[in-house]
Structure 1
Amino acid sequence: MTNNFFKSALLRWLLPSLLALLLSACAGAGSNRLVAEGKIATSISSVSHYGKGIGIGNFYVNGSWGGVQYNGWGGGGKTVCCVSLPYKTSTPTMVTVKWETYRTAVTEKRWHEATVPLHISEAKPGTGYGAVVHFLPGHKVEIWIADEGIGSPNYPGPAYPRGPAPNYIHLPDEKPEPAQGK
């Protein structure tokens, strides 16, 4: 009986402590020792503007895993913690985004990489809605941090994709979709 009591007490203490440690990785600057000086950790989420017929596999922001987008239209990725970004910016901050696209209809997977400016509107990294990566047609990418969420009419980045997804338009160096019907 005593042995089970200690195991139970240990789990009641250990699990919340581990959770607090994990959450501190995404906490603000202050005493967060898991993030370099002058930097802050912020969450990453994604939105795809490609259309149907393409998905986004794993993606990374400055080497930090950002998750999996799954589809090519709208949301579908999840918010992941964290990427380390400068806390204060007086000059443009460049970030490197690396992502994988896949097209099952033509069995094609590709990795893409782009170094792009971090767009910060009103919010500082660590506030607002975190970093949102927008995957755009032509394998272009934008990354935004704002006080407004992506569904808000005041969101300064690309508008959230609505309505039925258009077909993905392949680039000249990509395999064309197979003909539909006869």
Structure 2
Amino acid sequence: MMRLLKLGIPLLFALLTACDSGSAKEDMVPVSLTGIDHLADHLSVQDFGVNGTGGFQAGKGGSVVCCVSLPRKWRPDLTVVVRWHITNWQGCDWESYERRVPVDRYDK
């Protein structure tokens, strides 16, 4: 048993180190987000999310949700995943959507 521990612990450490060495951590910053609903009166965005951060009712843009993480430095291939649910109050139903969208260039 002791021999197994002596061999197993260094092996486990080596595996964990190998897994981490290929994943360089990007310098991320928190960014607030606001959802704005530009739909007809009988439709509304009841909740939305960006990269897993939820934003509840979009409304007219009065509330801010903290925080979505973005890289400190913008890059041309930068995208986020946006999910939202639209409720149709006249038809008493809803639909869910998801899109990967590019992030506009930013400096700060």
1:69 alignment partner in structure 2: 58
Shift of 1:64: 0.8
Q: In 2 relative to 1, CA 91–76 (structure 1 residues): closer, same or farther, beyond 3 Å?
A: closer
1:106 alignment partner in structure 2: 91
Shift of 1:85: 0.7
Q: Which runs of 4+ in 1 moved over 4 A?
A: none
Q: What is the alpha-carbon root mean square deviation over aligned residues?
A: 1.8
1:120 alignment partner in structure 2: 105
Gaps of 5+ in 1: 1-35, 125-182
1:20-56, CA deviations, whole angstroms, 9 ceiling, x for partnerless residues? xxxxxxxxxxxxxxxx741110101021222221000
Return the structure number with greater relative CO, CA threshold 8 A, min gap 6: 2
Matching of residue 52 in structure 1 with residue 52 in structure 2: no
User: Radius of gyration: which is bigger?
Assistant: 2
TM-score norm. by structure 2 comes to: 0.69
Give the structure with the larger helix fraction: 2
Separation of aligned partners in 2, 1:85 and 1:67: 20
TM-score norm. by structure 1 comes to: 0.42
Identity, in percent, stands at 30
How many residue pairs are counted as aligned between the two chains? 84
CA contact (8 A) 1:92 1:117 kept: yes
Query: What does residue range 1-182 of structure 1 map to in structure 2 within 5 Å?
Result: 37-70=26-59, 75-121=60-106, 123-124=107-108
Letter in 1 for 2:51: N
